[in-house]
Amino acid sequence: MSSNRSPIFKQIFLLISIFLIALIVGCAPVTPGGASAVDEGAPAEAQEKILVVASSIQYGESFDVFTMATSDTPHSMIYESLVAIDTNYQFQPGLAERWEVSEDGQTTTFYLKKGVKFHDGSDFNAEVVKWWAEGMLDCVSSYL
């Protein structure tokens, strides 16, 4: 891991990581009536949970990163990313246990944590990361 990364690379890397995690939340199975399949059998008063995110910016109608132009603040509070930044502004492992940057700085290889599952039980793997990266190319946030 190189410590000589440019600030723009760090910002792009952080935004990409945040947007990837945004996709993870959209995978929950929903039963008729809108309750999550995970909530079945829970007491009635515990079935509905509400998360309120207050901000001076209008983010949009959903947290779908493919349809929202700006959304990094709530996503960073909700989703886990490939890489995190600590209080000293140093990269730390997230869903990527480690990564390597090529000598020319043009390629980053991520080594993903094994055994990670989405909340619906599906696997987190390279195919998911590839799907997300390709989806970002044609969405409203593709400028990132």
Indicate whether 40 belongs to any domain. no
Residue 77: φ, ψ to 5°: -85, -20
CA atoms within 13 A on the CB side of 120: 12
pTM reported for the whole predicted model: 0.51
**Crossing angle of helices 126-137/7-25, nearest 10°?**
110
Assign 118 to helix, strand or coil: coil
Per-residue pLDDT tens digits of the chain, which is 144 residues long: 445 556 676 777 777 777 667 656 555 555 555 555 555 555 566 677 887 766 655 556 666 767 766 555 666 666 788 998 889 999 999 999 999 999 999 999 999 999 999 888 999 999 999 988 888 888 776 766
Indicate whether 143 belongs to any domain. no
In CATH, what number is assigned to the domain containing residue 91?
3.90.76
Structural domain range at position 61: 7-28+48-137
Q: What is the pLDDT of residue 138?
A: 81
Q: What is the pLDDT of residue 99?
A: 95
Torsion sign (Cα): 13, 19, 20, 22: positive
Q: What is the pLDDT of residue 49?
A: 81
Q: How buried is 29 (Cβ within 10 angstroms: 0-12 exposed, 13-18 middle, 19+ buried)?
A: exposed
User: Based on the structure, what is the number of domains in the chain?
Assistant: 1
Indicate whether 41 belongs to any domain. no
Indicate whether 116 belongs to any domain. yes
